[in-house]
């Protein structure tokens, strides 16, 4: 991977880009357009986790050990972050 040009799109770069977008939706980093941290959008974060899960399923057996490790770690961390975010989310009580 060290021999690849900086502007070349890689699988790991793509996965990390999706992870950064999820962090943005969790409200963990500032919006690059405004410089402000937006309120969490758990639906959008969940959608990105689902996209990464599909990538995991569809690329099974076709990734290097490093790519598999990064994808597994990103999914693990985002799923934990989602569970934590749900605990903090306001609940609507229905009778």
Instruction: Please determine, for residue 3, whether its predicted confidence score (pLDDT) is greater than 70.
Output: no
Structural domains counted in the chain: 1
Tell me the pLDDT tens digit for each residue of 22-60. Answer: 999 999 999 999 999 999 999 999 999 999 999 999 999
Q: CA 39 to CA 25: how far, in whole Å?
A: 8
Residue 41 domain-assigned?
yes
Residue 37 domain-assigned?
yes
DSSP 91: P
The whole domain housing 53 covers 11-88
Instruction: Please determine, for residue 95, whether its predicted confidence score (pLDDT) is greater than 90.
Output: no
Residue 52 domain-assigned?
yes
pTM for the whole thing? Answer: 0.82
CB 43 within 8 A of CB 86: no
Q: Which of 26, 20, 21, 18 is nearest to 83 (CA)?
A: 26
CB 66 within 8 A of CB 1: yes
Q: What is the pLDDT of residue 88?
A: 78
Average pLDDT over the chain reads 90
């Amino acid at each position: 991977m060290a021999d690849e040009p900086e502007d070349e799109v890689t699988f790991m770069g793509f996965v990390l880009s999706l992870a950064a977008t999820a962090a943005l939706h969790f409200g963990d980093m500032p919006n690059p357009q405004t410089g402000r941290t937006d309120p969490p959008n758990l639906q959008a974060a969940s959608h990105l986790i689902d996209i990464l899960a599909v990538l995991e399923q569809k690329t099974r057996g076709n990734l290097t050990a490093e790519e598999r490790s990064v994808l597994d770690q990103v999914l693990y961390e985002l799923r934990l972050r989602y569970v934590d975010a749900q605990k903090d989310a306001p609940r609507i009580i229905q009778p």
